[in-house]
A and B are shown apart, each in its own frame.
Chain A
């Protein structure tokens, strides 16, 4: 396979996901470009989280192929055919992806610094000093240089989420996934987390995929917005366009409901 600059960073190709008889994602096609920032919006239960979790290999897929950086992730090529991926292959592709969870999922028995050096040391095999330097830089980046020695329980929700972002970044991913990273936070704490994401977007060459309910943020930050409805992308486009003049009726309904709620 040859390197091509314009091949997408992530490609969902006819991806289907079912839970029992419930089809959550119905042969989804979605390309995400290198360095692109894509916001996913949509009503509850429309499959937004599922998209991210499948990309993070937290869920098996029932059909289709996910490509990452030009390589099939869920499958691998063997004798010219695509076969389901082995653990080793998954691990290699997974190293390009980082994820931040709605409920942080920090390791409660480790300090902020401990959380950030754990995987670099055990997975990447960095020596402690190097891992600590990297973690300290990242904690500074998210504005928590002073809180290195604090345990998650000693941090506010916003601070915990910023540690979680630093932890994911410490693995130097090319793609970052954010699943409603502010929805477990009090409104006044959302700002600090969004600020960090903004900074990441402008300073780093990361591909970002975020599920969010914060339309304002999506509008200002994303290059593209995808509206999900019942496991399908109902409408997508530039934020200005999609938010001001949605074409699809469902999108209109959804945006109206969201705006009313605010």
Chain B
């Protein structure tokens, strides 16, 4: 789907939320849901930041690090991709206190989700770097650049463009898995929907509103990433840009 039709969907979802909120007594649910959505957004944003950082570090270690770092990176990736996100969250939340390590739920949430998505991201980054043509590396050697200069100035910027779409998917995955934090006592959007449902029994409007809010957030990510992709491709592809 192109950006215009995604934007149309976004607008439709926003209108649907407004209409639903305005009908009946549904308005009373909005403050709670929006409060939850705000926490969801905060966890998602910090989690995505952490995911990008760990993914890049892990990929670079795996590709160019000395053997111990390489092994560490492989273990990290396989471990976090091999176990499920909820198990990881529960482990951080329930087991670490057994070892005397206590963390804020927010920290647990960001750490758990960020590291989980970062493990998938590491493979995206690795693929992106490896996808850059060998000739580019050779050109940097011919220009006498160091490996680090080449990576930073030539290889990573090109890999970046190729990585935008898969990262868009991963950000959406992360946004969706923020719902899991409702199971470790955090009052995110899903948690708010559940509690509101528990005492009002207005199941259908509440959950529909919550679903629509998630849809709005996902669409925002998708549109943002599409825009970013188009912007970074400017000039690099024939028939675009200047």
Direct contact of A and B (CB under 8 A): yes
Interface positions of A (Cβ within 8 A of B) = 56-58, 91, 94-95, 97-99, 101, 103, 105-109, 111, 118-119, 122-123, 149-151, 153-154, 167-168, 171
Query: Within residues 18 to 58 of chain B, which ones have a CB less than 8 A from any CB in chain A?
Result: none
* B211 CB–A CB distance under 8 Å: no
B7 to chain A, nearest CB (A): 27
State whether B143 touches A103 (Cβ < 8 A): no
Are A167 and B235 in contact, with the CB atoms below 8 A? no
If the complex has contacts A105-B135, A105-B138, A118-B153, are A123 and B143 also in contact, measured as CB distance less than 8 A?
Answer: yes
In contact, B242 and A91 (Cβ under 8 angstroms):
no
Contact A109 to B149, CB < 8 A, known contacts A95-B144, A151-B241, A171-B144: no
Tell whether, in the assembled complex, residue A151 and residue B149 are in contact, meaning their CB atoms are under 8 Å apart. no
Q: Are B153 and A91 closer than 8 Å at their CB atoms?
A: no
Flag B108-143 by CB within 8 Å of A: 1 or 0 each.
000000000000000000000000010110111111
Chain A, interface SS category: loop
Q: What is the bound-complex CA distance between A257 and B5, given in angstroms? A: 59
- Contact residues in A for B141 (Cβ distance below 8 Å): 56-58, 94
Nearest Cβ on chain A to B144's Cβ, whole angstroms: 5
CB of B212 closer than 8 Å to a CB of A:
no
Give the residues in chain B near A111, CB-CB below 8 Å.
Answer: 235
| A91-B144, A98-B142, A119-B145 given; A153·B135 CB < 8 A | no
The chain A residue sitting closest to B147, CB to CB, is A87
B144/A123 in contact, CB under 8 A: yes
Contact sample, A vs B, 24 pairs, CB 8 Å cutoff = A57-B141, A58-B142, A91-B144, A91-B146, A94-B141, A95-B144, A97-B142, A101-B138, A105-B133, A109-B232, A111-B235, A118-B154, A119-B143, A122-B145, A122-B149, A122-B153, A123-B146, A150-B242, A153-B236, A153-B238, A154-B241, A154-B242, A171-B143, A171-B144
Assembled-state Cα–Cα distance A230/B124 (Å)? 42
Point out which of B138, B232, B235 has the most chain A C-beta atoms below 10 A from its C-beta.
Answer: B235
| A119 partner, pick from B144, B161, B238, B242, beta carbons under 8 A | B144
Q: Does B237 contact A (CB under 8 A)?
A: yes
Q: Which residues of A contact B97 (CB under 8 A)?
A: none
What residue in chain B is nearest A95 (Cβ atoms)? B144
B218 on the A face (CB < 8 A): no
Closest Cβ of chain B: how far from A202's Cβ, in Å? 24
B162 to chain A, nearest CB (A): 11
Which has the most chain A C-beta neighbours within 10 Å: B143, B154, B158, B241? B143
Q: Apart from A57-B141, A149-B242, A167-B143, list 4 A-B contacts with CB within 8 A.
A: A107-B136, A119-B145, A153-B236, A168-B142
- In the assembled complex, B157 has its CB within 8 A of some CB on chain A: yes
- Tell me the complex Cα distance, A84–B83, Å: 46
- Please measure, in the bound complex, the distance between the C-alpha atom of A190 and the C-alpha atom of B84, giving whole angstroms: 58
Q: What residues of A have a CB within 8 angstroms of the CB of B133 in the complex? A: 105
Residues of A within 8 A of B140 (CB): 119
Which of these, A57, A98, A103, contacts B135 with CB under 8 Å? A103
Closest 10 CB pairs of A and B: A151-B235, A119-B143, A105-B139, A105-B135, A99-B142, A153-B238, A108-B236, A122-B149, A94-B144, A109-B157
Residues B144 and A101 in contact, CB atoms below 8 Å apart:
no
Residues 202-240 (chain B) with a chain A CB within 8 angstroms: 232, 235-238, 240
Q: How far is the CB of A109 from chain B (nearest CB, A)?
A: 5
B138 touches A58 (CB 8 A): yes
Q: In the assembled complex, which residues on chain B have CB atoms less than 8 Å from the CB atom of A154? A: 235, 238, 241-242
B186 to chain A, nearest CB (A): 40
Q: Is the CB of A56 within 8 A of B142?
A: yes
- Contact: A118 with B238, CB < 8 Å? no
Chain B hits for A57, CB < 8 A? 141
Task: Please indicate the chain B residues that have their CB under 8 angstroms from the CB of A122 in the complex.
Answer: 145, 149, 153
Contact assessment for B139 and A101 in the assembled complex, using a CB-CB cutoff below 8 Å: yes
Shortest CB-to-CB span from B154 to chain A, Å, is 6
Whole-angstrom CA separation of A111 from B140 in the bound complex? 16
CA distance A86 to B232 in the complex (A): 37
Residues of B near A150 (CB, < 8 A) are 242
